Chains A and B, each alone.
Chain A
């Protein structure tokens, strides 16, 4: 478990750090930049990104994708998932990803349907 056992390149080898400590600071910079982009988009909300794409605003898709990017680097570099064997990685990540996608799909589908009934249907809620 010596320090040199860490895999030190990110972006598929595009950036390679000299030491684990250096990699940590590099990932911090990456996470800060991504957060800053999110915050700036969140404050200014550019009109261009208000168009809809698969049931959601483009802006919201950007937020969610950037969040998953951040989650990837936190898990892979801070939690050292990059250094674990592939079988452990798959047990943890695939199980989570599959079940989370499933619950999100069924629940949001249902929520959208209930919302439709509320707005087009037979329930009066604005009085």
Chain B
């Protein structure tokens, strides 16, 4: 039984693939080489992210100002949610390696349970990331963009962020969103922000306790520079151009457009890897239940898919560092 499933009639033939040159099977070695090349892809992305950070080092947003949300809880809690996500992924790595371990002992029951927990961890991580994305896209306070493409944030006297909706004053306006049912059917535009630039300026003038927080980091404190009231008015009126709420690939309320682009691209590419990993894990999970590996007397497939799953965790460790910590 063993030989009919595992081997392809090439045993002991050196040039037929019957040997294991590095004491690792063909499949396992190829998984390692795939991981090497995939890690180069990810380092290419992260290096490109680093390039833009060095290029825009003064105006790059500070992660603790951007990722501050925790589901079901209001308030300002940087790092907490993403630490939770990291822990989930490490935990599912642990259940994976436990599944591999039980597989070595040919323990079908335990392998099944651990594979199930791994898949579950993968789903929790993916839904957390979906929540993270939707919060990021929806935005929080809103901002004004300048002609040069920078963003301007608003704070009160204590340095707390103030949302546009809390101070913008409605102005008579004639600007309507162009929908494709109203004119040329093949043109339309994206949603307009809730407030116009004029409304924000009017609101800012009417509230003397508001200040402008520029996008420039003060090298001494590591925080963004807050201007005095007079400078704030000048900054807003001379440089301000548009209102932006949330984030898309064209502009975002957090900082340079590239910031959101990299966020979507790198965490998206990682999330794509996680989805593939969950899919492979589900396939392996059913194969374990059906007894495929039991009949082979070898659970090596669990180990190979496990390598991929750990790699996904490994990449997240780096994404976590470079997007949320550094």
Contact = CB atoms under 8 A, between A and B. Distances in A.
Nearest to A43: B79
Contact of B310 (A25, A79, A111): A79
Given A64-B321, A99-B43, A118-B55, 20 more contacts: A20-B101, A32-B87, A67-B317, A67-B320, A78-B310, A79-B307, A85-B22, A91-B22, A92-B33, A107-B47, A108-B51, A108-B54, A111-B54, A114-B51, A115-B55, A119-B58, A125-B148, A126-B148, A126-B239, A127-B148
A84 B43 CA distance: 24
B196 interface: no
A99 B40 contact: yes
Most buried by A among B64, B146, B324, B325: B325
A101 to B, nearest CB: 9
Interface in A81-127: 84-85, 87-88, 91-92, 95-96, 99-100, 103-104, 107-108, 110-112, 114-115, 118-119, 124-127
Contact of A21 (B47, B101, B146, B307): B101
Contacts, number: 149
A70 B55 CA distance: 28
Interface of B: 22-24, 29, 32-33, 35-36, 39-40, 43-44, 47-48, 50-58, 64, 78-80, 83, 86-87, 90-91, 93-94, 96-98, 100-101, 104-105, 146-150, 222, 239, 300, 303, 306-307, 310-311, 313-314, 317-318, 320-321, 324-326
B36 A24 contact: no
Contact of B79 (A42, A100, A115): A42
Query: Which DSSP category, helix, strand, loop or mixed, fits chain B's interface?
Result: helix
A111 B55 contact: yes
Interface residues of A, number: 56
Contact of A24 (B40, B98, B321, B326): B98
A45 interface: yes
Contact of A114 (B55, B98, B104): B55
B29 to A, nearest CB: 7
Most buried by A among B47, B58, B98: B47
Interface of A: 1-3, 20-21, 24-25, 28, 31-32, 35-36, 38-39, 41-43, 45, 50, 60, 63-64, 67, 70-71, 74-75, 77-80, 84-85, 87-88, 91-92, 95-96, 99-100, 103-104, 107-108, 110-112, 114-115, 118-119, 124-127
